[in-house]
Amino acid sequence: MSGAANRSLLGIHHAALICSDYARSRDFYVRILGLRVLAEHHRAARGSWKLDLALPDGGQLELFSFPAPPSRPSRPEAQGLRHLAFRVAALEPFIQHLAECGVACEPIRVDEYTGARFTFFADPDELPLELYEAV
């Protein structure tokens, strides 16, 4: 294998999120979004939890709790991570599921460049999350 091939990115392994209420966020990502728990560790020395969640495509989300984390400065245009987008086969069934769980979604929009439909909603800490319909 060439040197350039050894330096090629293969994909996103994981994204890490910090939550303010571990139990509430764990419930949201596991029960409502349906992500599978890979590992869960209480870090007593830090007074925090680390939860590894499996995404269907092989990627992962890491959910961390820390005592008194600062709030997100603005939504969604803060510097840094803007939002996480999840690919779905169809928007309406997932939007209906979220509504049944008390999670509001914005009106469906159409991506002006791809023609794909999408919507935004928020996790318990107001992190913007997107559903992006596979085309």
pTM listed for this prediction = 0.87
Q: What is the pLDDT of residues 48-94, one digit of tens each?
A: 999 999 999 999 999 999 888 888 777 667 677 788 999 999 999 99
Q: Which residues pair with 131 in a beta bridge?
A: 86, 119
Task: Calculate mean pLDDT across residues 95-103.
Answer: 97
Tens-place pLDDT, residues 8-38: 877 889 999 999 999 999 999 999 999 999 9
Determine the pLDDT at residue 74.
75
- The pLDDT of residue 62: 96
Hey, what CATH topology would domain 1-70 get? 2,3-Dihydroxybiphenyl 1,2-Dioxygenase; domain 1 (3.10.180)
> What class, spelled out in words, does domain 72-135 have in CATH?
alpha beta
Measured CA to CA in angstroms, residue 76 lies from 54, 90, 126, 134 at distances of: 25, 24, 9, 23
Q: How far is CA 22 from CA 9, 85, 86, 111, 120, in A?
A: 31, 21, 21, 33, 22
* Ranges for all domains in the chain classified under CATH 3.10.180.10: 1-70, 72-135
